[in-house]
Structures are given as structure tokens and as C-alpha cells.
Chains A and B, each alone.
Chain A
Amino acid sequence: MTGHRLAAGAGCWPPGLADLDQLGGSCGVRSIWLEGELPPLPGVALVGSRQATFAGLEAARRIGADLGRRGVTVVSGFALGVDAAAHRGCLAAGGQTVAVLGCGLAVDYPRSHRGLRTEVSLRGALVSEYTAWDGPRAWHFPHRNRIIAALSRAVVVVEAGEKSGALSTARWAADLGREVLAVPGSILGQANRGSNRLLRDGARPYLDVSDLADVFPECAVPGASDRRRRPERPGGEAANPPLEAGDHAARLLALVSAEPVPRELIGRALGLGASGLAVLLGELELEGHVRSLPGGLVARPRW
């Protein structure tokens, strides 16, 4: 199934796309291909690096979920990394999402997103300006970013390196007069260079969903379901409190924040051997208080 074609000026032509015509040149969109049903637009664009860190993926998922829960449509580029996390977060919270592809609708790209593709087409729409069998060419992607920006009232850059395509989306957004926000990130490493630079250049920082309140009033109040399910102190709700480990468990949870921590260091800090630490972590992981990441890291679970 390759969807149907929508021509400019049709009854359900997304309002934001018309703004692209004002930019002149080849910016205007004459028709788009559509699979699924367009949710209410404009929405909020969530974009970022394909090679995101775990923190970046986590942030994208959470913002996607916060928006989805409020009925704000999440627009993104269906790429690996942040894009996919944003779509997934939104869908998991029962929201609707639009994926703007850099290839034709009949092209299975990226291959690992087959499952996500079905979900998006059922609970939102896949959109492309390319004909069905057009492959994912390198130049398609920066070009389709203008559609992502046009379909949104605000663009949130989650995690972008210096050369990330997400920055081009931010530029399009600025040209179109859309709100540009960026999630502040660590200054160590390369992962957040681009998004942090956006902040320096005048983008607004995104700290929580209320930062979108002036463009989407429904984001003003934190919803009840929004409070992060903070893991309760061990021994509270758990059916199987980590008995002998009670004190250690509390200290471990205090050590592990959202930022992943190497288990080797946890063991040292608590004075636990490999076996003792494994039992403790196993218990906490079983209850959903922590999770193990590749590379011997331990982190708090996702939302």
C-alpha cells in the first residue's frame, strides 16, 4: 500500500505547508503522498541526531509522550535515533504522530522501522513529497526538513551534533517564523554541540512541556498522569522487598541518576563484590527501579 496523493489546495491540505510558498524558489510543495490519516496540525516537531546517546533517546521519548498525552501531534522525520524515539514515545502515550519521510512511501527505509511504520500509519500519517519508489537519497533529507518545520508550530531540537540535519530543520523553522527550542545538553563530548549552539544563538531552552505553553495552551498545566513515576523507596510497594539489601538499595538508587553509571564504580562505592552487586541490581531491575545498559552501565529506567 503506497497511500494516496494530495495536491496543493485540496480541502485537507495542511495549513502550514502554504507558508513554504512565501519562501520562494523551489521551497513550495505542490503535492504530497499520504499513508494513514492526518492528525490535527500544526503540531510540535521533535528532531535530533540519528546517533543519539541514551540520554537523548530518553529525552525524545519523554517529550514525545508528554505531547502525545495532551493531544498535541508530534511531527518528526522517521529516522533512527531521536526521531524514532519521539514517534514511539508519542504513540506509547496514546498520541498521534506524523512522520515525514525522505523517500517514497513504498520504500522500506529504514528497514528496522517496519513495526513502527505500521503503528504510525494506524495512529497518524506517513507523509512524503517523493513518488512511491523514490529511494532515500542524501539530498532528500535536508529538503524534507522544511516540511517538518512547516507542519509544526514549534520545533524542539533534542540532541544534535555540529552537523546534524536537525539544525537544518531549525533553520527552516526560523525562516518560517516557527518557535525554535532546544534541549540543553552536556558540554562534554560532541553529542550536544549543535543543539547547545542553537541555545546560544537565541533558541529557547526546553526544560519541560510547559515551555510550549505559549504556542499550545494545553501544555500549560502539568497533567496528573505526567508526574514521572518516580520509583518508590524500595520496600514500599514492592511485593518482594530486597530484604537483606535494604540499606544498600537506597544508597545504590541515590548513586544512579538519569545519567548512566558504570557498575564497577557502584560496586566500589557500596563495597559489594560482583556477586552481591549482581543480586542487588537484579532485585532492583526486577522491580523496575534501575536498568542495565550496554557497556556495563546502570541507569534509572525510562519514564
Chain B
Amino acid sequence: MVATAISCAVQGLSGVPVTVEADVANGLPSFTIVGLTDRAIQEARERVRAAVRNAGFDFPARRVTVNLAPAEVPKEGTGFDLAIAVALLRTGRELPLDDVACIGELALDGGVRGVIGVLPMARRLAASGIRRLIVPAENAAEAALVEGTEVIGVESLAVAVAYLEGRLDLAPTAAPPMGELIAPGGVDLAAIRGQSLAKRALEIAAAGRHNLLMLGPPGAGKTMLARALAGLLPDLGADEALEVASLYSLRGRLSDRPATSLRPPFRAPHHSVSRAGLIGGGAGLAQPGEVSLAHGGVLFLDEVCEFPRAHLEALRQPLEERRVGVTRVRGTVTFPADFVLVAAANPCPCGRLGQREAPGCRCAEDAVLRYQARLSGPMRDRIDMVADVPRLGGEALFGSGAEEPTAAVRERVAGARARQAERAASTGVAANALLGAEQLVAVSRLDVRALDALTTAGERWRLSARAYHRVLRVSRTIADLAGEERVTRQALLEAFQLRGQSE
């Protein structure tokens, strides 16, 4: 006697619908699960046996074989428990609703516990036309975000079985409304005194998606500024928000950030983070790393020089391709990782370089050079702007004059984004930060005086080709913020101020 149930295996952000087949045959009583399973699924035998019995059903004292098909797809985690139990029970009774997918972990008493990755599973199942789901009650809200899917949240196996028998009518969970005003932990620009250069750099970064390096001593406010950047970015689109929520679901981190939030995420991993934690990976199921949790938002690397060099090298792929491939023994998965990078560093090992008041910087010149050399390499090439963030004295901190609030700046950013979107129709490039060398020339449309400034600057500062491109990209965004059709001399001059000292 063979019966089936539907579930889903995740692979990166996507997955494969899985048919759980249960066969009960004569022979010595046993319980075997096959189909490229991991340890957690093997342990499901004990959970399922106890849960079935404690939910008031009989566990067949016969030879039980469960197969998870397709059998060549590796499967991991505890989310198959419910489907295994349902398939098993179906061998002995009529459970007429058979187009319903079941996801959830079983407790020994027959309860159903939440699992990670329910949102991406729901999306994947919907894509293959499976639009009715039984999920753990605690995951029902996230699954309900998928439009057109009917989600039944259950707290126990008995309820799920009663529903599938048609004895119990459960109302589908209503999709929670998307949108939320300010992400938790957000900082308003108006709360930061002074630092006008850095703030302007944030505005430009938000408008053109440029990566930014902030140089300044500890305590100057770099972290606050980086947080404020997340507030300057425009809201995510509904699809993008769902994608971001899926990534958080995979990490089981929806408690950090509500799945309904349209605000771009802000992630600030500490420099002790592991490579898998930063880039993605992990022992079993390949999990998204911080670069993917920052997808659509801001990745802030404080004390960037303290990060292991190999980690920074590994950032090259996400910075260039806006996604990251994670290779595990069982295959490669790809996660999106399209973020604005904000790196912060001290200008020298002691952090007081260029500070006027005592105690001044006591680093030897070669120590400073060596320190700054750590900022070079593949990552530096992808950073368009450098802003000094000096520690301010009382005169600047307590000066009069209101600071511009985030809302006002965000409006300018939105305008600049709209101008880029218009251009994207012809260039195919969504943001100025992604403009390549050839596109830059066409898109910049320098006027005569701007061209003159560029030539003079090139001679004076001996700009490399890379530096030219960086300045042009940034100046294009500055012109977009000002609503200029062409890149003006003013835009270029301002971009020069953000080019950074060393090459």
C-alpha cells in the first residue's frame, strides 16, 4: 500500500517540490527513510513514530519505507516531518485533500513546530502550481505573503489530519499588509550634528548606489552615519521585499526584521564573523550570509582593516555580480547580494592622524602607509567615494543651525533614482554605480567647462583610469541629484572632493 504527500526541499533561494512516498508492507516491523537525506531527516523516524502515536493514531507495526522524491536532490532539515507523517497515515485512512503541501517539524507529543525557509518554499511551490499549504502556525504569516496561496497554520498533527480528512474547516491565514515606516534601529540624519561632507556622501551613495569608505577616528560617528544611509534608500518594491524576507526566512532571522517590511535592511557584521557567516555557506544547508541579508540595503563593515584579508577578497564577487555563489559538497547555490557597501576605517592604526589637539597621532609614517595599503585591492576598486569623518570639537557639535532631516534628503534621492531609471531604458544600467567605462562617456555628456576641469584635475593629481571612472560615476549621480541633464563642472568638482587621497 503506497500513499504520498507533498513537501518542498530548499536549494538556495529556490527549491524543488518533493513527493513523500510511504509504503507499508508485510515483514519485520521497521521504518526506513531514503532519498538523499541528512541526519535530521533520519532522526525524523523517531519524531514521526512518537508523534503519530501521541496524536492518537496507530503506527503500523509492519515494514515501513518512506522515499523522498526526486531521490537525487539532497534534502535537509526537519521540515519534512509533517509530510512524512501525513503520507504514512494516508496508507491506512482516507485523507481526500491531496493537492496540499505539508511543511513542519513534529514534536513527540504530536505538536507542530516552526521551521526555517517556509517563505521561499511557499514561493517555490506556488511557482509549480501548488497553492494550498499546511505550515506550522508560527510560520503561517510569512507563507501567507505569497499572493494567491492559501495557507493553513496548524499547531498539531491531529488538527492537520482532521483538516485533510475534511472533518475540520480551518480559515486560511490572511496575508499581513506590507509596509512599515521606519526600520527598527534607524537613525535620522537630523540627529547627527555636523559631518556635512559625510552626510552629502551618504546622499550621493543612496542616490547612485555607490559604495562608500569613511575614514575617521573611533567615536566620530561613522556607525550612526552608516545607519542613516539605510533610511535614505527608497522603499523596496513588493517583489524585492519578498525576496529579502525569503533570505531572512532561510536564516531563521525573521525576528530581526519583519517579513512585511519594505525598508531596506541594514547589516553590520563584526569583524570576527566567519567567512560562511559573511558570504554564505554553513555545514549543511547552504545558508545566506550577511552579504545576502543586506540584499537591497546596506552592508556596513566597521573597522574594515580588521576583517581578514580573505573575507574582503571574497566580497569581490558580490560587489561585481550583485549575487554570491556558495559552493558546498552537495552543489552550488546562488543568493542575491545587491547591497550598498559602507566601509569604515581609522585613518591610521591609532586613529588620530590629522587630529590637531593632543594627543596627536603617534603612528610612524610607514605604519600608516602599511595600514592604508590594507584598504587597497579588489574592494577599493569598487568603492567610488571616500569621506573623511573627523571627530568634531564642541564648536562644530553645538553650533546653531538645524540639520536636514532624512525625509527631505530621501526626496532628492528618489528624484535622482527616477532620472537613472529613465536612462536605464537606453543604457540598461539601473544605477550609476554600475556604469561601465563605455557607458560613462555617453551618459556623462560633459560640458566644456566640466571637461576642462577634468583635464586639469587629471594632470594635477595624475588620476588613473580607474580614478577617472570613479569620479565620473559619482559626478553623474551628483548631477542627477541636481536635476541636470549634463554633468556640470560643479558636479565634477564636488566629486573630486570625495575621491580619496591615496590611490
Contacts and interface: CB of A to CB of B under 8 A. Distances in A.
Contact of A240 (B215, B388, B395, B453): B453
Nearest to B492: A282
A111 B354 contact: no
B392 A275 contact: no
Interface stretch (B73-81, B222-230, B362-370): B362-370
B369 A112 contact: yes
A interface secondary structure, majority: mixed
A286 interface: yes
B496 A282 contact: yes
Nearest to A111: B366
B97 interface: no
Contact of A190 (B359, B363, B497): B359
Contact of B360 (A189, A268, A277, A294): A189
Given A53-B360, A273-B196, A282 B396 contact: no
Given A262-B390, A295-B388, A281 B497 contact: yes
A51 B365 contact: yes
A260 B390 CA distance: 13
A146 interface: no
Contacts of A293: 354
A274 interface: yes
Contact of A286 (B196, B361, B493): B493
A268 B399 contact: yes
B256 interface: no
Nearest to B373: A112
Contact of A264 (B196, B358, B460, B496): B196
B389 interface: yes
A80 interface: yes
Contacts of B392: 262, 264
A264 B354 CA distance: 14
A265 B216 CA distance: 17
B366 A80 contact: yes
B354 A297 contact: yes
B452 A278 contact: no
Interface residues of B, number: 48
Interface in B347-395: 347, 353-366, 369, 388-390, 392, 395
A288 B396 contact: no
B387 to A, nearest CB: 8
B395 A265 contact: yes
Of the four ranges (under 10, 10 to 19, 20 to 34, 35 or more), the interface on chain A belongs to 35 or more
A47 to B, nearest CB: 15
Contacts of B390: 262, 264, 295-297
B445 interface: no
Contacts of A240: 449, 452-453, 456, 489
B271 interface: no
A60 to B, nearest CB: 13
B327 interface: no
Nearest to B482: A275
A81 interface: yes
A274 B359 contact: no
A108 to B, nearest CB: 12
B180 interface: no
Contacts of B498: 278
A294 B501 contact: yes
Nearest to A277: B196
Given A80-B364, A191-B360, A286-B456, A265 B396 contact: yes
Interface in A228-268: 239-240, 260, 262-265, 267-268
B199 interface: yes
Contacts of B494: 275, 278-279, 282
A190 B357 CA distance: 10
B360 A279 contact: no
A292 B501 contact: yes
Interface in B464-490: 478, 489-490
Given A51-B364, A189-B360, A191-B360, 5 more contacts: A240-B456, A264-B197, A275-B200, A279-B490, A282-B453
30 contacts: A50-B365, A52-B365, A188-B357, A188-B358, A189-B359, A240-B449, A240-B453, A262-B390, A262-B392, A264-B195, A264-B196, A264-B396, A265-B395, A265-B396, A268-B396, A274-B197, A274-B199, A275-B478, A279-B490, A282-B493, A282-B494, A282-B497, A285-B496, A286-B460, A288-B460, A292-B497, A294-B501, A296-B197, A296-B390, A297-B356
